[in-house]
Amino acid sequence: MAVISYREALNQAMKEEMDRDANVFIMGEEVGHYNGAYKVTQGLLQRFSERRIVDAPIAEMGFTGIGIGAAMVGLRPIIEFMTFNFSLVAIDQIVNNAAKIFQMSGGQYNIPIVFRGPGGPAVQVGSQHSQSLESYYAHVPGLKVVMPSTALDAKGLLKSAIRDDNPVVFIEGETLYNTTWEVPEGDDELIPIGLADVKRAGSDITLIAWSKMVWTCLEAAKQLAEEGIEAEVVDVRTLRPLDVETLATSVKKTGRCVIVEVGWPVAGYGAEVAYQMQKHCMDMLDAPIERVTSDDVPMPYAKNLEDEVQPQVKDVIEAVKRALYLI
């Protein structure tokens, strides 16, 4: 089994799906001749030509609308945003068109489209480029929202998203592109949308996270194990639809839960997860559910302040010890 990067896994997924289905094409800023802002589309222009790898102008609302129109007539567009911060320019198209056309047309039009690109904080890119917007899109019926944490999940879930007949918001971890994971070879390794994954088994407490916070939780679990505390790490993977059953099974087993997200606390997606866990696990909980989030401020530029604002391993460990009544 090959060990490849998150970036390479995404590239493989798109190449394999474009080989498989001539209706799949990619459109976005710098996706072609520049090979993508993060080099995720590297080599695809040479393989598929400008007919299927379309360099768009800096006009997110425009090329998003073109993609939605293309999906209405049977194509399967992949719309790349240079970062999901820029998707806000196109949010009217995503929320008022892509998410609603199937229902408003009485089922006459499916919208098989993927909106993909990096999201969440990177490193010193300023507050306008460091936002975690998943709760915006997970709020909207008609959209599916996927946030993989590993190269394996990135490939399998992107392939499933491309084949899905519904609009999928596929947010990649901006700091995960160089991380590596074992990924099976072959073009049929799909991971179903709507299925969470237990990344580490444990018995004392459940850590629930998605995207790059899964890695933070895994490191926290490793350090906690040195103190005799076994934490189970569950990767949500798909925010909408949410796999409540897998999450609740873990929380019922451990009796305690910490939810970790890099987004802001107010109306963050972790609040929905916390609601679902108390609803399904109330009788099994031995402590209040803890949430770890970024601070409720725009992201600072200075590196030390940027690190302070975001959840760190020490913050997760502290939350775990609160839930275990150790502090």
Judgement on whether residues 54 and 165 belong to the same structural domain of the protein:
yes
Residue 168: predicted pLDDT: 98
Among candidate residues 228, 298, 285, the one with its CA nearest the CA of residue 258: 285
| Residue 189 lies inside a defined structural domain of this protein | no
Judgement on whether residues 73 and 166 belong to the same structural domain of the protein:
yes
Residue 186: predicted pLDDT: 75
The pair of three-digit structure tokens given for residue 327, joined into one six-digit string:
């502090």
Judgement on whether residues 212 and 89 belong to the same structural domain of the protein:
no
The residue from 183, 212, 228 where one domain ends is 183
Neighbours of 290 (CB within 10 A): 21
Going 207 to 209 to 214 to 220, the CA torsion angle's sign is: negative
Residue 277: predicted pLDDT: 98
The residue from 125, 160, 183 where one domain ends is 183
Judgement on whether residues 177 and 318 belong to the same structural domain of the protein:
no
| Residue 192 lies inside a defined structural domain of this protein | no
Residue 200: predicted pLDDT: 98
CATH code: domain of residue 236: 3.40.50.920
CATH code: domain of residue 136: 3.40.50.970
Per annotation, catalytic residue among 129, 189, 219, 318: 129
| Residue 61 lies inside a defined structural domain of this protein | yes
| Residue 191 lies inside a defined structural domain of this protein | no
Judgement on whether residues 167 and 207 belong to the same structural domain of the protein:
no
- Report d(CA 279, CA 258) in Å as an integer: 15
Neighbours of 62 (CB within 10 A): 14
Low-confidence ranges of the chain (pLDDT < 70): 187
Judgement on whether residues 142 and 240 belong to the same structural domain of the protein:
no
Owning domain of residue 72:
2-183
The residue from 157, 183, 209 where one domain ends is 183
Judgement on whether residues 201 and 171 belong to the same structural domain of the protein:
no
Long-range contact pairs involving 103-107 (C-beta distance under 8 Å, separation at least 24): 103/142
| Residue 188 lies inside a defined structural domain of this protein | no
Judgement on whether residues 99 and 144 belong to the same structural domain of the protein:
yes
Judgement on whether residues 207 and 275 belong to the same structural domain of the protein:
yes
The pair of three-digit structure tokens given for residue 202, joined into one six-digit string:
């444990």
| Residue 77 lies inside a defined structural domain of this protein | yes
Q: 6 to each of 20, 125, 178, 180, 282, how far by Cα in Å? A: 21, 21, 6, 6, 37
Are 151 and 6 in contact, with CB atoms under 8 Å apart? yes
Residue 188: predicted pLDDT: 78
Judgement on whether residues 244 and 176 belong to the same structural domain of the protein:
no
Residue 117: predicted pLDDT: 97
| Residue 16 lies inside a defined structural domain of this protein | yes
Judgement on whether residues 120 and 223 belong to the same structural domain of the protein:
no
Judgement on whether residues 217 and 313 belong to the same structural domain of the protein:
yes
Are 196 and 244 in contact, with CB atoms under 8 Å apart? no
How many domains are there within the chain? Answer: 2
Per annotation, catalytic residue among 16, 17, 29, 60: 60
| Residue 190 lies inside a defined structural domain of this protein | no
Q: Is 129 a catalytic residue?
A: yes
